[in-house]
Amino acid sequence: MLGTIAKKLRMLGFDTQYYNTINDDELIISAKKEERTIITKDQMLAVKAINQDIPTIQILTHTEKEQMIEIAHKMSWKKLTLDNPRCSICNGMLQKASKQEIIGMIPPKVAELVQEFWQCDKCSHIYWVGTHIRNLERLIAEINDTL
Ligand SMILES: [Zn+2]
């Protein structure tokens, strides 16, 4: 399953759709229409997609870090950043939000300790820099070292 990779790609700012129930033909039609690259572990799907001239990355590695590095290399990305993140849940764009705007929607302890917030313009989910982001920053640094 590449679901956690999809979430990370969104946080890195890449416009990413994730499907785990769609059939191959529907996925190929959707990728063609939206001009997307298919990233998959499924060899059958990769072959079908390549035969339809869809840019396709067949993931061959196993750990999340290896898979992220594999994608970054095959996409020829030079440097990953968190400068323009998307919502990991819905792929919406994140906008800076002031603490006043979202104060009732975050845990009091977070409101006390954190100054910077972002909110999804589609699903309204609120983000701030916590352990999750710091772990992602560490992973990005390790990946950038290989690019
Ligand atoms: Zn969202």
Nearest to 41 by CA among 15, 20, 72: 20
Ligand 1 centre from 73 Cα, in Å? Answer: 27
Strands (E), 29-111: 38-40, 56-58, 94-97
Ligand 1 centre from 47 Cα, in Å? Answer: 32
Neighbours of 29 (CB within 10 A): 14
At residue 9, the pLDDT reads 97
Ligand 1 centre from 140 Cα, in Å? Answer: 22
Q: What is the mean pLDDT of residues 98-104?
A: 94
Q: Where are the domains positioned within the chain?
A: 3-144
At residue 1, the pLDDT reads 59
Ligand 1 centre from 14 Cα, in Å? Answer: 14
Ligand 1 centre from 37 Cα, in Å? Answer: 21
Ligand 1 centre from 127 Cα, in Å? Answer: 10
Neighbours of 88 (CB within 10 A): 22
Q: For 37-85, how does the pLDDT look when each residue is reduced to its tens digit (9 = 90+)? A: 999 999 999 999 999 999 999 999 999 999 999 999 999 999 999 999 9
Flag whether pLDDT at 4 surpasses 80: yes
CA distance 100 to 32: 43
Ligand 1 centre from 88 Cα, in Å? Answer: 7
Ligand 1 centre from 87 Cα, in Å? Answer: 5
Q: For 128-145, how does the pLDDT look when each residue is reduced to its tens digit (9 = 90+)? A: 998 889 999 999 999 999
Ligand 1 centre from 31 Cα, in Å? Answer: 21
